[in-house]
Amino acid sequence: MFDVLTLTMEGTPPAQPVGQLPHLDWQWLAEGVLELSPRQPCTRAVVLSAGIHGNETAPIELLNQLVADLLAGTRPLRVRLLVVMGNPPSMRANKRFVQADMNRMFGGRHARFPPSDETVRAQQLEHLLAQFFRSATASGATQRYHYDLHTAIRGSLHLRFGLLPFQPRPHSPEMLRWLESAGLEALVYHRSPGGTFSHFSSEVFQADSCTLELGKALPFGGNDLGQFSQIKRALEALVSDVPAAERQGEPMKHYQVVQDILREQQDFELHIPADALNFTAYPQGYMLAEQSGKTYRVEHTEEVVLFPNPNVGLGLRAGLMLVLKS
């Protein structure tokens, strides 16, 4: 049977775009995009994506192994499943992106960027998700889930954490239980809409969606996948539609975003050290960043920083500040 990661890295589709195995049907929809359908009726439609940033290799390898097990028949498939290797050119280049950050482009925001392979790909993935969820619903799979797997640019005080997109409806208790079982150390609640892949599926298709951050970005072959054994088991349970194992370790910490630091001027300066870890705490009054006409300071007794990056494009987020949810 074929290997999804190998085909994606080589830029070659399978010899045939569709196929049948004794236990499932599969269809190669586009470069790095594979749909798997069980033979029996099911109620869940699941999207698992990785490689939206091409150098975030650990989740790509995890997802590829899961698909290999499904194709080999060693792992039963009991959901409609769409597997997405997000940004093949940046995967091949081992770069976060080639022209621009694709995880800022979803929900039609690709139109705000100069045309590139990434704007075309973001638009293609939007269409493929719409097609998948529409087809799944027609077949009776009405429960929608999307987990977008990433790794962080810098190290983190929480090695594995999730980011829930802003949505006006409550987050699914079932999804929150699954995230607990996946061994995440922390969960971050966004306070405003964004251009991420998981926000797109939540907003447009009302999917239960979450971005999962799994360790630090390393080259292919350099990951210790043993660090992610709980998420691996949780993904296996998800696609086989069986209860996930009980959580091991301390309960998740829940954080709320309270500030979005935006780089809006050319003279923007971020006062977070380059070696600061994600979730590093700063005291009230600390100056986080400054630019013409605006400064950012810690407003609460203590706030922790997430994704500080002074090198983003103008108008984009250069960091988030969080507090523990009460």
> Which amino acid is located at 125 in the chain?
L
The answer to whether 110 is annotated as binding is: no
Sign of torsion over alpha carbons 57, 61, 62, 66:
positive
The answer to whether 23 is annotated as binding is: no
CB 47 within 8 A of CB 217: no
Residues 6+ apart with CB under 8 A from 167: 202, 203
> Which residues share a beta bridge with 236?
none
CB 279 within 8 A of CB 305: yes
The answer to whether 56 is annotated as binding is: yes
- Annotated active-site residue 213? The verdict is yes
Decide: residue 237, CB within 10 A, 0-12 exposed, 13-18 middle, 19+ buried. Answer: middle
Of the candidates 213, 236, 264, 299, the residue annotated as catalytic is 213
CB 220 within 8 A of CB 94: yes
Distance between CA atoms of residues 30 and 66, nearest Å: 19
The closest of 301, 300, 296 to 317, measured between CA atoms, is: 296
CB 218 within 8 A of CB 284: no
The closest of 52, 150, 53 to 95, measured between CA atoms, is: 53
Distance between CA atoms of residues 208 and 218, nearest Å: 28
Phi-psi region at 42: left, alpha or beta (left = phi > 0; alpha = psi -120 to 50): beta
Residues with catalytic function? 213
- Which residue positions form the known binding site? 53, 56, 150
- Which residue positions form the known binding site for Zn(2+)? 53, 56, 150
